[in-house]
Amino acid sequence: MASQPFFQTLPATIEWRDGDLLLLDQTRLPHEIVVENVADVQAVWRAIRELRVRGAPAIGVAAAYGLCIAMRDATALPVAQFRAELEAHANWLETARPTAVNLSWGVRRMLRHARDTDASDAASLYRALVEEAKRIHAEDQSLCEGIGEHGMPLIREGSGVLTHCNAGALATTGIGTATAPIYAAHRAGIGFKVYADETRPLLQGARLTAFELQQAGVDVTLIMDSAAASIMSQGLVDVVIVGTDRVAANGDFANKIGTLGLAIAAHHYGIPFYVACPSSTLDLHTASGARIEIEERDAHEVTHLAGRSIAPDAMQARNPAFDVTPHMLVSGFVTERGIVRAPFERSLRTLFAAQGNAA
């Protein structure tokens, strides 16, 4: 399944083409456009771990297709052995990145579908897996459109919108999560300005968000992470919209490191702070943010920039990839079904009780 980005300037983030999985290598953007044909499930694991495919929704889609890649050459096995190998690959694939719930959501959904499929042979079970992965892919695109529809009213003529990291088209297979209201408002002809945080240490805001918004013709200005509070203090920001990698049952959420500071600053200046959250990123099994595992990445990402050292030799560094923002700093969650407001523990569960991720 292809999902050509709506702005028609980049290959699809993820494409399934006749049994091959194609991934746009996001580590090479914005200066090189490289599409990788991943050969095996180990390559899918590495692509997720090394951020060649990234963003919670895109990771979920890639993981679903990754299991198809894993089982592509196993169609001659007995069905019981096929199922056992599928589960082993799923368990291993989940270890690529622990924080984004879409990874486990995607592989667990594939396993449930395999268990629920009455197949007489492995070949038909493999075909069922491919069809389920395609459904996950199509649903992701639909979720993004829903978030755009419900979030667009947050952006008015003359608004200043601040976003962090990349929760855009490159982080999904559609028009993004946090960027979905931005693109919807842009399509509607609303005039507004976006401030995109650079997002240290890997600069997803500078390399990806600023790039895709610019390509789409959106009025975007790149700022240093440390300038966000100052920009707010000048009255230039009317709303903050960020994405998320996991939302706990009480409304605490994990997102790219630096999000917590933005939420605190927005609260100080009385600026509404919204989180774009597709149902696939909601984790009602996790009670609060204190239970979310935070990925700690290599210190090299902090001490080096573009392959060159920017710190003293042998310098120690911390590199948490995410932080957790408490629910009391959130104005609302923009979902494909509408905007969810406090009390989140009740409203999230009520709205998504029918979803497979409900407890």
Catalytic center residues: 245
Q: Which run of H or E residues covers position 154?
A: none
Helix (H, G, I), strand (E, B) or coil at 294: coil
- DSSP per-residue letters across 295-330: PB--THHHHEETTEE-S-TT-----BSEEEE-GGG-
Cα torsion 56, 59, 60, 63 to 10°: value is -160
DSSP state of 293: P
**Residues that constitute the known binding site for substrate:** 54-56, 97, 204, 255-256
60 exposure class (CB count in 10 Å sphere: 0-12, 13-18, 19+): buried
The answer to whether 82 and 127 have CB atoms below 8 angstroms apart is no
| Radius of gyration from C-alpha coordinates of the chain | 20
Q: How far apart are CA 258 and CA 197, in angstroms?
A: 9
- Residue 279 makes CB contacts below 8 A (sequence gap 6+) with 143, 335, 336, 337, 352, 355, 357
Q: Are 249 and 349 in contact (CB under 8 A)?
A: yes
Name the nearest CA neighbour of 18 among 81, 67, 55, 65: 65
Distance between CA 167 and CA 169 in Å, rounded?
7
**Binding site, residues?**
54-56, 97, 204, 255-256
Helix (H) or strand (E) holding 117: none
* Chain Cα centroid distance, residue 89: 22
